[in-house]
Amino acid sequence: MADKARGPRPPRVESPRDEAADIGVEARLAAGILLNAALEGRGGLDSALTFREVSSLEGPDRAFARAVAMAALRRLGEIDQILDRRLNKAPPLAVRTILRVALAQTLVLETPAFAAVSTAVKLAERDPKTRPYKNLVNAVLRGVGRDGPGLTTAESNLPEWLAARWKSTWGEAGLAALALVAREEPATDLSLKPGVDAAAVATAVEGEVLPGGTVRTGRRGDVASWPGFEDGDWWVQDAAAAVPARLLAPKAGESIIDLCAAPGGKTLQLAASGATVVALDRSESRLKRLHANLERTGLSAEVVAVPAEDWEDDRTFDAVLLDAPCTATGTFRRNPEVLRATKPADVAKLADVQHRLLDAAAGRVKPGGRLVYCVCSMEREEGETQIIAFLRRNPAFKTAPSVPAEVGAPDEALTPEGWLRILPSMWAEKGGVDGFFVARLDRVS
């Protein structure tokens, strides 16, 4: 879809009938299942990938279903604006899902309109509950194809309560920039092992080297087939997610603990420095990816499946990294479902968890050591407010001001306090980054 001024491009309509129009009904059904699962709650989309209707699809169809669902999530507000102009009254959710899936294909993925309309009508026909609406589905989609979708607003894709918060914090222009980057599928970022030639990797994956050494590529598909994967040269990690470990400045021979470590990108960074690393996480299942990446890259860490605040080991460390559980609203580029799954009450609930974890992390820092706290949240209660309150409770710690250029962060991310507030709209010309709050705190000897 285009911006507010022009509205989305009209779908490309092809008149000839084609056998391809009759292919992919099951993939479209799966897309609707994934979409609704994502709208129902946090983690719903990932869980739905195991549903029979999705898991039984061939690889390309399964990938297509996920791509359609993600496109619909990113542009849901705009899609519903288009539909609401053409519907006299709200249809059942199952019918709206069929329409949403079809418009995500034509308006975002540029699927030929005849194929999207044909499969949408077939989906409506196959279920007794939606069959009475098949003519409505056909008429709405053909009407959009004939007349164009009309003007839409990028801000409509954001939940109203979040849009209001972000406008209050970053102003109208800041909200508009966030809304625009939220619509686009992000590139893939790679963190490299020390000694691996970033320029060579960028050439191999048709990408570019970002500040800090991250390689960004627009390549799609199974990363396991990309050059350098089997050799363990790199792992997938958003450029912003790589900043906290760099700010911690790990050194060979140091003892470091990564609290709440899964899925493990930061642990790999720490291990690659030559430090002795302990990685804790409460979720044994989420640590499986870390184990696999450690084996693939030839790096090592002591991995423990236990909640950070419950770990009975009395060791202290030269450096502690706490990537705390949070609303994850800063990851909306990669995980658009998080915007719909997060509720206002979640902010306060998770802020309480972060408070406890910060105090537990502080107790693990040796005198003269350092602590980096980060969250992939856009909410001040989970970032700035946490550190302000922590420093009041813990006079033994002080802020160590960040230097963005040294850790691969956007220059404009630096706050007056010396912390980093990375917004997804930063580096917009490069495709944006995940939203993060990062602060380094040194313990006075």
pLDDT tens sequence across 388-437: 999 999 999 999 999 999 999 999 999 999 999 999 999 999 999 999 99
Q: How many CB atoms lie within 10 A of CB 150?
A: 13
d(CA 198, CA 214) in angstroms, rounded, equals 8
Predicted confidence band of residue 22 (pLDDT cuts 50, 70, 90): very low
Amino acid at 209: V
CA angle 188, 6, 36 (to 5 degrees): 55
* Active-site residue identified among 260, 326, 374, 376: 376
Q: What's the rounded Cα separation, in Å, for the pair 214 and 189? A: 6
Instruction: Considering only residues 360 and 13, tell me which one the structure prediction assigns the higher pLDDT.
Output: 360
Closest CA to 103 of 60, 74, 130, 132: 74
Residue 176 has pLDDT above 90, yes or no: yes
In the chain, count H helices and then E strands.
Answer: 17, 12
CB 441 within 8 A of CB 371: yes
| Beta-carbon count within 10 A of 323 CB | 25
Is the per-residue pLDDT at 14 higher than 60?
A: no
pTM score of the predicted model:
0.90
Residue 23 clears pLDDT 60, i.e. is over it:
no
Q: Give the integer Cα–Cα distance in Å for 404 and 212.
A: 9
Distant-in-sequence, close-in-space partners of 219: CB < 8 Å, separation ≥ 6: 188, 205, 206, 207, 226
Question: Is 376 part of the annotated catalytic residue set?
Answer: yes
